[in-house]
Amino acid sequence: MSHDYHPQSAPVLHDGCAECAVRGSNAFNAIVNLDPANFARAWNRAAAWQLDGLPDLQDAEVLLLEALKGVQLQMEKLGWPIGMLPDRGPLHEGWH
């Protein structure tokens, strides 16, 4: 299955795309299919969702962002601010 056409925009998984719907139906599958740049975008979107909400949240990305948000909340209990990774600082576009 391939991605239906959708514009490159902030959402990592897009409503209306069959491939995004399949990936978004399972958080593990959604996470392991991300390349480094899209993982960084998903990590940042999960943090933004936790902190401020996301006006462009897609149904297809909810399970993915919930899983990452859950990891961030656990890391916050260990002293890492939301959106930060241990020994790496904030993720950003192009992080490898």
58-85 confidence digits (pLDDT tens): 999 999 999 999 999 999 998 889 988 7
pLDDT, position 68: 97
**Residue 53 sits in which domain range?**
18-82
| 88 within some domain | no
The model's pLDDT over 19-56, given as tens digits with 9 standing for 90+, comes to 999 999 999 999 999 998 899 899 999 999 999 999 99
| 93 within some domain | no
Tell me the one-letter amino acid at 52.
D
Number of domains in the chain: 1
| 45 within some domain | yes
Whole-model pTM?
0.82
Tell me the one-letter amino acid at 29.
N
Radius of gyration of the chain (CA): 13
| 23 within some domain | yes
| 10 within some domain | no
| 36 within some domain | yes
Tell me the one-letter amino acid at 91.
L
